[in-house]
Amino acid sequence: MILLKINYLTKEGFAMFVRIELTYKTPKGTETTFSSDELKAAKAILIADDLEKSGRAKNLMFVDNHENTWNMKELKKFMKGIETEPHNATVYFDGGFDIGAKKSGLGCAIYYEQNGKSFRLRKNALVEELDTNNEAEYAAFHLGLQELERLGVHHLPVTFVGDSQVVINQLKGEWPCVEEELNKWADRIEDKLKELGITPEYKAVSRKRNRETDQLATQALNDVEITSTIEIEKD
């Protein structure tokens, strides 16, 4: 069996890394198992193809880090299909709270690639049922997740970037989440991540570096609705 443990690099382009494990059978019938270091999936497929041609590797199978199993044909199709679906996504989020008006502005910006091109999606929303700025930050994160779902992003790594230390560190499990409402938001987000098969990476930045979504949240508070997707030039 070939066992593939999948990891990803999301900042310098999409890359799937795998570890190969195989059962090897000698011409006289002696069997043993080998395990490799991690390598790119494309290279692993080439090696697996070569092993199949030798006739000494049995029951070739691929298993990802969500315990999904793939045969050679399925994995090749998956690798090819990734390029045609949204991938290499980074989500910026920010929430603002107007304590006087009891209104919250949510903003998210999603950068992703598809069919060899780069895109940016911007979305904001005005909501009235929240009570604190931290709730608004969680709600903005959840807005980003909803937009990922609409894009069709699934079973891929996604980087989430925000200036809320509370949200980032609580979702990472580094800070306790003792407030009931924030716990509900955290559970809702974790359930959605699991449903979509998204492996999250969390990154905290300064407010200055999160200016784009801060502006989107402020525009929402000012009743300026933003929904846009544009193609952008690659760096």
Same domain membership, residue 110 and residue 73: no
CATH number (domain holding residue 111): 3.30.420.10
Residue 55 has pLDDT above 70, yes or no: yes
> Does residue 2 lie in a domain region?
no
Tell whether the model's pLDDT for residue 15 goes beyond 60: no
Here the contacts of 35-41 (C-beta below 8 Å, separation 24 or greater) are 35/3, 38/5, 38/7, 40/15, 40/16, 41/4, 41/6, 41/16, 41/17, 41/75, 41/79
Interval 100-111: pLDDT, tens: 999 999 999 999
Which residue has better confidence, 57 or 178?
178
Domain that holds residue 58: 7-82
**End of a domain among 59, 82, 105?**
82
Same domain as 97, residue 62: no
Residues 71 and 97 in one domain: no
pTM over 0.85: no
For residues 142 and 193, membership in a common domain is answered with yes
Q: Are residues 127 and 171 in the same domain?
A: yes
For the chain, the domain total comes to 2
Same domain, 30 and 144: no
